[in-house]
Chains A and B, each alone.
Chain A
Amino acid sequence: MTDTLSSWLTTDAPASRRQAVLGNLYRGGTAILRNPTALVGLIIVALLLLAAVFAPLLSTYSPIAQDLPNRLAPPSPAHWFGTDELGRDILARTLFGARVTLTIVALVSIVVAPIGLAVGTVAGYAGGWVDAVLMRITDVFLAFPRLVLALAFAAALGPGIENAVIAISLTAWPAYARIARSETLAIAQSDFIQAAVLQGASTWRILFRHIVPLCLSSVIVRLTLDMAGIILTAAGLGFLGLGAQPPTAEWGAMVSSGRDVILDQWWVATIPGLAIFIVSLGFNLLGDGLRDVFDPKSA
């Protein structure tokens, strides 16, 4: 049974589009599992997802319930990672913080990838002055200092997750436009695009049905590599008090709250910081591995 399934998946002559797609997924999946870097990264990211989904089940404490008599308690069997300055369980807050981090990462991805794809593919396919203008704009945004601009934006709009997402997205999209453009330039030359043009396909159809799907893989690899940077910027904004607002558990803000007591109660700042570190390490490892698997040229 497994033999027939794997030979059905890896056949050179797929009988249907579904078989071809599943076969590609299978080959990619096994390549990732065989790459130790990607595998470790994948496990960490999977753990993050599980922590975010099952946070209420994994911890018996509420992330926002205060317990002042027990404030700044060191790690113990009752509170594995101790409690913070308001007596809140740090394990619970760290687990629930995974939700905030995932929200930010997901929102930035769904804002940044479509904008980058749209700008890049249109610029690459249209060429001429459209290309020149769009790429100039992209270069302008690419040259901006990311964190400082995000700071100014968050300061003007007021603190909060949505504004942090807007601020990060504003400085993150140009990289995707560049990637999509260079992919489009290569794809637009190929024979099957010419064939589609001759068959009378409209420009929009060629862009969205033929070119965009082919750009997706490099955009996704780049997105994974960027995740760590996005998480670190978001945590930095949170640390400065410009991210999620209290009492929401956000890792950057949690580190900030442990700042004053770092010399005596080290666990308050250390645990959420470790969480940021491990998660961005996970995304970096996964991104590195994905690049090795799908894009060996640039590794």
Chain B
Amino acid sequence: MTTDSRAIVVASPQRRRFAATLAQRIASFIITLAVTFVGLTAVTFFISRLTKIDPVLAVVGDKATKSAYDAAFRALGLDQPLYVQYLIYLRRLLSGDFGVSVLTSRPVLDDLLRVFPATFELSTIAIIIGVAIGVPAGVIAAARKGRWIDHVIRIVGLFGYSVPVFWLGLVGLFIFYGRLGWVAGTGRLDVFYIDVVTQRTGIILLDAALDGNWDVFTNAFSHLILPASLLGYFSLAYIARMTRSFMIDQLGHEYVTAARIKGNSFWRTVWRHAFPNILVPLITVIGLSYASLLEGAVLTETVFAWPGLGNYITHALFNSDMNAVLGGTVLVGAVFITINLICDLLYKLVDPRLRAR
């Protein structure tokens, strides 16, 4: 097991200060989380005020009498000052009341929980693909800096940064489904496989495996693999680039030269000595790209008719179902913010160079 030489150096005097600041950091983390969440809900509240849809008419219908309209107006708290309305909104959100979806006439929170597993399944497989290819690619690019393989990996990454995800999805469907027939088309399952397995988790691969129904598993996999690979490609581009720059930094250290002089082979030095030292920032990067996959799924899901969060939000959007749109925004935003800030905290906690600040 290799140890980080710098970690030993900073042990005793700073360890104590670190313990003292740990409580501070966690407190500051919670405050930041709260402030950011208030900011997010303030923005969604503001957006809900911007819409031209009258919230009272949505409740009472357009044939209501004047008195019924006024009663509903007051019941919704619209006669209160704006900040009181915001507080009412915040209290409703905290108690899990996201309003009722006009489209499905069910509570928005139920809808969101129902569609979330599909997005979770897609982005999890995508991040696995992104990490499995992106990390080795970044390490190899750094170890072979300036050679042809480095340039190839850089160009593949640049393409990932530049290509519109919805377009690549369409082209992928055209080639791999339309022309080659290697994968299944849109949706999560073929029609005759839908509702065959018992819903336990909502994650079809897992449900099918638990039922032992391998036909469904294979079918779900052939639906999943194309959108997941595409999303994975986008996180791969980011992960590979960051891994490369972390590794280049590590490989410049003297301990790498020392390890080589002691007779370790080049690749052993790279993987066993340098690589463990980039794990901390790397985990942060992976966490961040996982969070952004939730977001990136919006367009991918639309192209692949994948019944997840993104599809739900865009579908609601076109039916002026603002409760559903804003509920989805709050949920994606909350997950995004939480992962973001946890990564930030983790990074500060574990990297000694950032503790001092």
Residues of chain A whose beta carbon lies under 8 Å from any beta carbon of chain B: 136-137, 139-141, 143-149, 151-153, 155-158, 228, 232, 235-236, 239-242, 252, 255-256, 258-259, 262-263, 266, 269-270, 273, 276-277, 280-281, 284-285, 288
* Residue from the list B164, B292, B326 in contact with A152, Cβ < 8 A: B326
CA distance A277 to B313 in the complex (A): 26
Q: Are B170 and A145 in contact (CB under 8 A)?
A: no
Smallest beta-carbon distance A72→chain B, Å: 15
Nearest to B329 among chain A residues (CB) is A152
CA distance A178 to B171 in the complex (A): 37
Smallest beta-carbon distance B16→chain A, Å: 27
Q: Is the interface of A mostly helix, strand, loop or mixed?
A: helix
Contact with A along B96-118 (1 / 0, CB 8 A): 00000000000000000000000
Is residue B51 within 8 Å, beta carbon to beta carbon, of the partner chain? yes
Is residue B36 within 8 Å, beta carbon to beta carbon, of the partner chain? yes
Is residue B298 within 8 Å, beta carbon to beta carbon, of the partner chain? yes
Q: Is the interface of B mostly helix, strand, loop or mixed?
A: helix
B314: which A residues are within 8 A, CB to CB? 151, 240
B336: which A residues are within 8 A, CB to CB? 143-145, 148
- With A145-B333, A228-B162, A277-B162 as contacts: A262 and B32 at CB distance below 8 Å: no
A273: which B residues are within 8 A, CB to CB? 164, 167-168, 170-171
A280: which B residues are within 8 A, CB to CB? 161-164
Q: Are B170 and A259 in contact (CB under 8 A)?
A: yes
Tally of B interface residues using CB under 8 Å: 51
B158: which A residues are within 8 A, CB to CB? 281, 284-285, 288
Within 8 A of A (CB), among B11-32: 32
Contact with A along B43-56 (1 / 0, CB 8 A): 11001101110000
Segment touching A, from B75-83, B125-133, B265-273, B317-325 = B317-325
5 contacts between A and B (CB under 8 A): A152-B325, A263-B173, A269-B170, A269-B171, A277-B163
Smallest beta-carbon distance B326→chain A, Å: 6
Is residue B178 within 8 Å, beta carbon to beta carbon, of the partner chain? yes
Smallest beta-carbon distance A292→chain B, Å: 12
Smallest beta-carbon distance B112→chain A, Å: 13
B44: which A residues are within 8 A, CB to CB? 152
